[in-house]
Chain A
Amino acid sequence: MPSICSKCLCICGLGLALVMAGCGSSSSSSSSASSGASASSTTSSSSGPLSVGLVLPCPTNDLSWCQQGYQAAQTLQQQGLIKFHYLANAPQDTASASQIMERYAKAGDKLVIGHSSWQDAAFAAGKAIPGTDFAYGGGGQTATNVATYNEPIYQAGYLAGIIAAGISKKGKIGGIAGPDVPLCHAELAAFDAGAKSVDPSIQTTNTYDGDWNDITKGKQATLAQASQGADVFLACGGGPASGMVQAIKQENLSGFGYVADMSSLAPKNVVGSIIYNLVPYFTAMVHDVDSGTYRPGKAYTFGLAQNGVYLKLNPSYAVTKIPASSTAAMEKALAAVKAGKLTVPNIGS
Chain B
Amino acid sequence: MNWNEVIGSSALVPLFSSGVALAVPTATAAVGECFSERAGNLNLGVEGMMLSGAFAGFIGTYYTHSVAVGVLCGIGAGVLLGILMAGLSVWLKTEQVINGIALVLFAQGLTAFVYGKLFSTSSTPTISTPANLHIPLLADIPVIGPVLFKQNSLFYIAVAAMLGVIFVLYRTRFGLSVRATGEDPAAADAAAISVDRVRWIALLVGGATAGLGGAVLVVGQLGIIQTNVTAGAGWIAVALVIFGRWNPVYVILGAFLFGTTDALQLRIQAASGGVTSGFPYEFFQALPYLVTLAVMVAVAIGARRTAQPAALGAPFRKEVAG
A-to-B contact residues, CB < 8 Å: 2, 6-7, 9-10, 13-14, 16-18, 20-25, 27, 58-63, 88-89, 174, 180, 185, 205-211, 213-217, 219-221, 223-225, 227-228, 230, 238-239, 242-243, 246, 249-250, 264-265
Interface residues in B3-30 by Cβ distance below 8 A to A read: 5, 11, 14-15, 18, 22
CA distance A25 to B110 in the complex (A): 9
Tell me whether A24 and B124 are in contact in the complex, defined as CB-CB below 8 angstroms, given that A213-B231, A216-B217 are known contacts.
no
Question: Counting CB contacts under 8 A, is B98 at the interface?
Answer: yes
With beta carbons under 8 angstroms apart, the residue of B94, B105, B229, B231 that contacts A7 is B94
Known contacts A24-B112, A58-B227; 9 further A-B pairs (Cβ under 8 A)? A9-B94, A13-B88, A24-B109, A59-B112, A63-B124, A89-B227, A205-B273, A207-B266, A227-B15
Chain B, interface SS category: helix
With both beta carbons as reference points, the residue of chain B lying nearest to A230 in the complex is identified as B270
CA distance A18 to B109 in the complex (A): 8
Residues B222 and A59 in contact, CB atoms below 8 Å apart = no
Contact with A along B230-242 (1 / 0, CB 8 A): 0100000000000
CA distance A38 to B285 in the complex (A): 49
Residues B109 and A23 in contact, CB atoms below 8 Å apart = yes
19 contacts between A and B (CB under 8 A): A6-B93, A6-B94, A13-B88, A20-B110, A21-B109, A22-B109, A25-B109, A63-B123, A174-B270, A208-B275, A210-B282, A216-B221, A217-B262, A220-B18, A224-B267, A224-B269, A224-B270, A227-B267, A246-B222
B-to-A contact residues, CB < 8 Å: 5, 11, 14-15, 18, 22, 88, 91-95, 98-99, 102-103, 105-106, 108-113, 115-116, 119-124, 126, 129, 217, 221-224, 226-229, 231, 262-263, 266-267, 269-271, 273-276, 281-282, 285
With beta carbons under 8 angstroms apart, the residue of A2, A180, A246 that contacts B223 is A246
With both beta carbons as reference points, the residue of chain B lying nearest to A15 in the complex is identified as B102
Tell me whether A24 and B108 are in contact in the complex, defined as CB-CB below 8 angstroms, given that A61-B123, A207-B266, A215-B224 are known contacts.
yes
Residues B270 and A228 in contact, CB atoms below 8 Å apart = yes
Among A2, A24, A206, A214, the one with the most B-chain Cβ atoms within 10 Å of its Cβ is A24
CA distance A60 to B270 in the complex (A): 32
Residues of B within 8 A of A6 (CB): 92-94
Residues of A within 8 A of B227 (CB): 58-59, 89, 213
Residues B266 and A61 in contact, CB atoms below 8 Å apart = no
Residues of B within 8 A of A238 (CB): 226
Residues A27 and B14 in contact, CB atoms below 8 Å apart = no
With beta carbons under 8 angstroms apart, the residue of B113, B217, B276 that contacts A206 is B276
CA distance A207 to B127 in the complex (A): 27
Tell me whether A180 and B275 are in contact in the complex, defined as CB-CB below 8 angstroms, given that A14-B102, A211-B231, A265-B126 are known contacts.
yes
Residues of B within 8 A of A59 (CB): 112, 115-116, 120, 227
With both beta carbons as reference points, the residue of chain A lying nearest to B229 in the complex is identified as A215
Residues of A within 8 A of B273 (CB): 205-206
CA distance A243 to B217 in the complex (A): 12
With both beta carbons as reference points, the residue of chain A lying nearest to B6 in the complex is identified as A228
